[in-house]
Structure formats: C-alpha cells, structure tokens
Amino acid sequence: MSVPEQLVLDLGHRTALGAEDFLVGHSNAAAVALIDAWPDWPAPAALVIGPPRSGKTHLAHVWQAQSGASILAAAAISDATVGLFERAGALIVEDLDAGIACERTLFHLLNLSREHRAGLLLTSAVPPGDLSVTLPDLRSRLRAAAVVAIAAPDDGLLQAVLVKHFTDRQLIVDPNVIGWLLRNMDRTMAEAARVVDAIDRLGLASRRKVTRALAAEALARLRAGASDA
C-alpha cells in the first residue's frame, strides 16, 4: 500500500550569508578576489556580473559587512539615494538588469564614487553593454567600473553547492545521489537550488528518504512543471 502524500507547510529555511559560508571555485574566484581586495580596487566602482543565484547577492552581503555599505535595488534608486551614499560612504546597487529607476541618479552616484573614492558595488545578470541604458554617459561610466564575471560552475563547485543546499535543509544524502544529479540536472546554481527544493518537498510530501529514485522523480516533476509553464 502506497503512502499518501501529506500536506507540506511552506516554512522555508535559513541560508547563511557570511563570508565563511560562500563556496569558492574556479567560476567565482575572480569575483571573490575582487571583494577581498577592497578597498584596493582598480576603480572606485565595481560591477559583478553573473546569472541568477550565482552568488552575487551573497558576495554583496559579504562586502556590506566589510564596508558598512547600504544596499538597495537599482529599480529603487532615487534622489534620496545620493544622501544615503554620502552618509554611509559605501553603497550596493543590485540587479541593474532588472531596471534602473533613475539613470541620472546612478550616473551621479558613479561620479561621486570617482570624486571621493567611495566604494560602490553594482550587480547585474548581463554585461554593461547589454543593459537597457539610454544615457550614453552612464553606459560609459559603467564600462569604466572594475567588471568581474561569475562563470558557470565547475563540477567541484556544483557538487559543493548541492551538498550545502541539502545540509541547509538538514537532509542526509548519499554521494551516489549527488553524482546522479550532476550528470542529469542543468548545470547552474539556480537549478541546483530548484532541484534540492523539489527533492525536499517531494520527500516531505511522500515521507520518503532522499534516494536516487526520489531525486529522479523530483527532477522529472520539475521539468514537467517547467514544460507546462
């Protein structure tokens, strides 16, 4: 007799954002080195580029702890952001690719960073040349920033990320399951998070341990859901 699926309460789980919790591999070593080098950056402003869930926000929080920077989304910048930058002496503006509320304000922030050697950390999923920016001077300033990219994760880093996601959820997983996932999942940080979440939910709902069969079923359901969407 099969075990009926149970209602799963979406209680979430805590993910640490400290420097000691950031996993370093070949794909993100340059970005980590840039954060660690502050305040001796090659330019006052730095731009970290990487796909969703590649670790940009985690690195931003690491730098925030070092610099005391304020943090906000590019879609939320306004005239008041200038005062915030001047008071804190350091600022993080995230997700330029999601939209810049005021291009002239961001241009002003970049100028202030140059004039006062104040730290300005920017994040984006795409390079400066691919951003939807209409102000030519802003595009020029963004290209003058210290730009570093986070690449696709290698095997070692992706394996470590999977293990960390499972550990964060207090799940014990056989190494064979991790190896199977590495061979069959899309090789991105975002996919690693989605797959572990899907496995966790299915395991809770069906009251089953994490096995290769459970992982395969969760991955199949995840792909079916993406196809339906």
pLDDT at residue 151 in the model: 85
pLDDT of residue 170: 93
The reply to whether domains 19-149 and 155-228 share a CATH topology is no
Cβ(134)–Cβ(172) below 8 Å: no
Exposed/middle/buried for residue 183 (C-beta within 10 Å: 0-12, 13-18, 19+): exposed
Q: Stretch 171-181: mean pLDDT, rounded?
A: 94
Any residues with CB less than 8 A from the CB of 59 and at least 6 apart, and which?
Answer: 22, 28, 31, 32, 35, 48
Q: CA 170 to CA 96: how far, in whole Å?
A: 34
The pLDDT tens digits for 58-107 are 899 999 999 999 999 999 999 999 999 999 999 999 999 999 999 999 99
The vertex-156 CA angle with 152 and 62, nearest 5°, equals 70
User: Which pLDDT belongs to residue 26?
Assistant: 82
pLDDT tens digits, one per residue of 203-229: 999 999 999 999 999 999 999 986 554
The mean per-residue pLDDT over the stretch 19-32 comes to 76
Six-digit token string for 75: 């879609």
* Domain chopping of the chain, boundaries: 19-149, 155-228
Which overall architecture, per CATH, does domain 19-149 show?
Answer: 3-Layer(aba) Sandwich (3.40)
pLDDT on residue 5: 42
* pLDDT at res. 2: 40
> What span, in angstroms and rounded, lies between the C-alpha atoms of 40 and 42?
7
Confidence of residue 20 (pLDDT cuts 50, 70, 90): very low
Give the model confidence (pLDDT) of 40-57 as tens digits. 999 999 999 998 878 899
pLDDT tens figures, 182-203 = 999 998 888 888 999 999 999 9
Give me Rg for the CA atoms of the chain: 20
pTM given for the model? 0.72
DSSP, residue by residue, 75-106:
GG--HHHHHHHHHHSEEEEE-GGG--S-HHHH
- Contact of 214 with 222, CB cutoff 8 Å: no
Mean pLDDT over 21-29 rounds to 78
Three-state DSSP class for residue 161: helix
Residue 184: the pLDDT is: 95
CATH dotted code for 155-228: 1.10.8
**Tens of pLDDT along 116-159?**
989 999 999 999 999 999 999 999 999 999 999 998 888 888 89
